[in-house]
Amino acid sequence: MPFIDMPDFAGELLDEFAKRKTVRIDTPVIQPAEPFLDMAGEDLRRRIFLTESETGASLCLRPEFTIPVCLRHIETATGTPKRYSYMGQVFRQRREGANEFYQAGIEDLGDADIAASDARAIVDATAVLNRLLPSQTLSITLGDQKVFEAVVAALGLPSGWQKRLVQAFGNIQQLEALLEGLINPKPVTGLDSRVAGLLASGDETELVGYIDTVMQQTGYSTNASRAPAEIARRLREKLALAATRLSDHNFNTLKTFLSLKAPLSGASEALAAFAQEAGLQLGAALSTFDGRVAALANSGADLDNIQYKAAFGRPLDYYTGLVFEITKTGSVEVLAGGGRFDRLMTLLGATDRIPAVGFSLWLDRIEMARASK
C-alpha cells in the first residue's frame, strides 16, 4: 500500500490542535465496512475501497475519520465532553487527484451547548486555515439540515417522502428530481400481477406468504437480505409514495425555501419572513439557527462573510443540523468542511445520546493553495 509524504505544515497543524486542548487519536487504516455503507451516504459509498477478512467479513480502507473516531470513543468508554483531533491518510476513488490523501480535523463530542459548539467548529476551522494560508481570502458557506427537515415536516408529507427528501438534502439535482416526482407522480409498473392484486386487496398475510413461496421456488431466499414481510412493507410504501402528489402551493413553498440565500447577518430575518409568508411553524429549528448565529457573533466571526444557503448540504447521511464548507474565495475546491451529527453515536452503538460536531481539513488541497499564493 503506497503512502504519501506528510505535508510540510503538519507541525503547525498539530500546534493549532494542541492550542484547542484536543486529544490526538489514531485509528486503524483497515476498518469494518458496514458503518460506512450504512451511514456515510451514496456519494462516499460508491468510492470506498472494499475488501474481505479471512472469515468473509466486509472491510474497507479508511475513507474518512468521523466514523472511526466515534467508534474508538465508544470502544474506550471515555466520558464526555471530549475533543479529539486526528491526522492521517484516507482512501477514496476520485476522478481527479490521488486516491490516497491526508485529512486532519477535530471531532467535538458531548458538549450540550449546541450553539456554542457549532460556532466553535466554524471558528476553529477558519482559524486553522488562516494560519496555514495567511495571505488567502476565505469564503464560508453554511446550511442547516434541521431547518430543511422542519420545512418538509411542516408541509405534511408522508414519512417516506420526508425521508427521501432529507437524504437528498445538499444534492440539488436529486432534490429537483424528487420534487418532479411529487408534482407529477408516476404509477408503479412491472409488478407481478399476483403481487399487484394482493397489494390492492390489502391481504397482508397472503401477500407475505406468496412472496415467501416465490423466493423459495426461485432460490432467492438463500441470498436475500430482506425477509418477505419486509419486502411486502416496502412494496406498500412504494405504492403509497407513488400515489402522493404535492400541491402546487407546497411545491412552490419548497422551491422558494431552497432558493433562499443571504449573508448570515440577515439569514435569521430571511428565514422568519419565509416561515411567516408560507404559514409554517418552524419555531424549534429557527430557534436553534438563531442561537448559532448569536454564538458566532459573540465569537467575533464576520457574519457578512458567511453565506447561508438553504439548499446547501454535504454528501454524508449522518449530518443532523449545521453543515458548512470553507473555500478560497473564487475557488470551488473545499479546504475544510463539517457539521453536526447528533444521531451517529447511538447508531454506532453508544448507550447514551451524545451530541457531536466536527470538521475535516483536506491537506492536499491546502498544500496546493499554499503553493499558489
Helices (H), 157-281: 159-167, 172-183, 193-201, 204-218, 228-242, 248-258, 264-278
Q: In angstroms, what CA-CA distances link 344 with 92, 185, 282, 318?
A: 21, 33, 24, 6
pLDDT at 185: 65
In the chain, % of residues over pLDDT 70: 92
Q: Is the pLDDT of residue 244 over 90?
A: no
More confident residue, 138 or 238: 138
Sign of CA dihedral 368, 371, 372, 373: positive
pLDDT of residue 242: 65
Q: Which of 284, 290, 280 is nearest to 257 (CA)?
A: 280
Q: Which class for 72: exposed (0-12), middle (13-18), buried (19 or more C-beta within 10 A)?
A: middle
pTM: 0.85
- Tell me which DSSP letter residue 320 carries: -
Where does the pLDDT of residue 147 fall: very low under 50, low under 70, confident under 90, or very high at 90 and above? Answer: very high
Judge whether 229 and 208 are in contact, CB under 8 Å. Answer: yes
Rounded Cα distance, 334 and 323, in Å: 13
* Three-point CA angle 273, 274, 277, nearest 5°: 85
Choose the weakest-confidence range: 20-24, 98-102, 191-195, 204-208: 191-195
* Distance (Å, whole) CA 123 – CA 289: 16
In the chain, the domains with their CATH numbers are: 1-137+342-373 (3.30.930.10), 138-185+246-328 (3.30.930.10), 193-242 (no CATH)
List, for residues 189-228, the tens digit of each pLDDT value.
Answer: 667 777 777 767 777 888 788 788 877 777 665 445 577 7
Nearest to 61 by CA among 96, 103, 17: 103
